[in-house]
Amino acid sequence: MAQIYLIYGDEPQLIEEEKRKFLATYPDLPVVVLDDEAGSQKISEQLCEDSLFGDQKVFCLVNLPIIRKSGKNSDAWTPLYELFTNYKGDNPIVLIYHDMIDKRIKQNKELLDKIPNHQCKRLEGADLVMWIRQYCTSHGFKLLPDAQEYVSHLIDLWKDVPVSFMRTEFDRYFLQITGEKVITKEFLEENSSDYGAKNIFAFKEALLKRDINTLLELFPFMFSYKELDRAMSYIEGQLRLQLFVSECRQAGMSVKAIENLCKDNNSSFKPYPIKLAYEASSRISIKALRALLKGLYEIILDSRSSKGDIWRFRDLCITYCGYKG
């Protein structure tokens, strides 16, 4: 009896990778691709016909309505659903479904219980960063900690970043790097696509360094950014990390002690950004940083209640950069 395998989810790139793995286990068999337009009867007939005459193939069946979106589906697909849940044929079958599956529906749950399956869920945050790191390693490249942290910040600022986009980005990097196969933060700053998150990260870095010239260059972008509230919230979160680390260092704590404190209290702060904040703390005024955070918090609150004057954000940043205490 040949294998039948269901791959589903909302991340097309991961579905494609998983499908290739399945097909690679049958390198000598031709692949037949069919979708719902072929119809339930034709698919059933072709599966049974090939099994009868021993003409073995791999069937890749895409987005068949055997997955229910509600309690009701066309009865025309019921025989095919039953064929798959009791499959004893000789043709390997991979079922592809480009969406999540509602497991609350009885028929869907039964299908998942009876057929080996793999969910390809949209990757976010640390999971997406891990995929990127593994993708670099699989191509012989090393993603340095500063580059990984840079990518992590960009992902925090995006919404619904598809793996396919990150794959295209890093494929381009692999072609650009001709010497040692190492990816650094500096390389990414210079070569990554020019999207909004890149500018927001640069703005945050310039603010912490009190680089007024870079801030003035980026203010027009910030004020035109359609998700300015989200950008300010990200900046506020990074400033809170810096203040926390600076206060801990002032109290005599080592960077390792701060990392352990965060770990023991299940904090979301990670070791590498803590290390960077610790290194930066010697040039940052805690008093000025507290005032900056207080003002930014008030601006965010006012902005969310439609009372805010966004120019206060510009004045607040300029005041921080000019602090002489």
Same domain, 99 and 133: no
Same domain, 295 and 269: yes
Same domain, 152 and 187: yes
Same domain, 165 and 249: no
In the numeric block, the tokens 């023991």 are attached to 264
Task: Read off the CATH number of the domain in which 305 is found.
Answer: 1.20.272.10
User: How high is the pLDDT of residue 117?
Assistant: 93
User: 149: number of CA atoms within 13 Å, CB side?
Assistant: 16
Task: Read off the CATH number of the domain in which 64 is found.
Answer: 3.40.50.300
Which residues of the chain have a pLDDT value below 70?
A: 1-2, 50-54, 70-74, 159, 194-196, 304-310, 323-325
Same domain, 55 and 18: yes
Of 174, 191, 208, at which residue does a domain stop?
A: 191
Residue 96 forms beta bridges with which residues?
7, 62
How many structural domains is the chain composed of? 3
User: How high is the pLDDT of residue 323?
Assistant: 64
In the numeric block, the tokens 């940083």 are attached to 289
User: How high is the pLDDT of residue 267?
Assistant: 84
User: How high is the pLDDT of residue 61?
Assistant: 92
User: How high is the pLDDT of residue 306?
Assistant: 60
Same domain, 116 and 36: yes
For the packed helices 163-176 and 12-24, what is the interaxial angle rounded to 10 degrees? 70
Same domain, 281 and 238: yes
Of 58, 89, 120, at which residue does a domain stop?
A: 120
Note the pLDDT tens digit of each residue in 191-206: 887 666 788 888 888 8
Q: Quote the radius of gyration of the chain (alpha carbons, Å).
A: 26
From first CA to last CA, the distance across the chain in angstroms is: 77
Of 191, 218, 248, at which residue does a domain stop?
A: 191
How many other CB atoms sit within 10 Å of the CB of residue 266? 6
User: How high is the pLDDT of residue 245?
Assistant: 93
User: How high is the pLDDT of residue 173?
Assistant: 93
Same domain, 310 and 213: yes
Same domain, 219 and 205: yes
Q: What residue numbers bound the domain in which 304 lies?
A: 197-322
Same domain, 114 and 178: no
Q: Which two tokens stand for residue 66?
A: 């055997």
Same domain, 201 and 318: yes
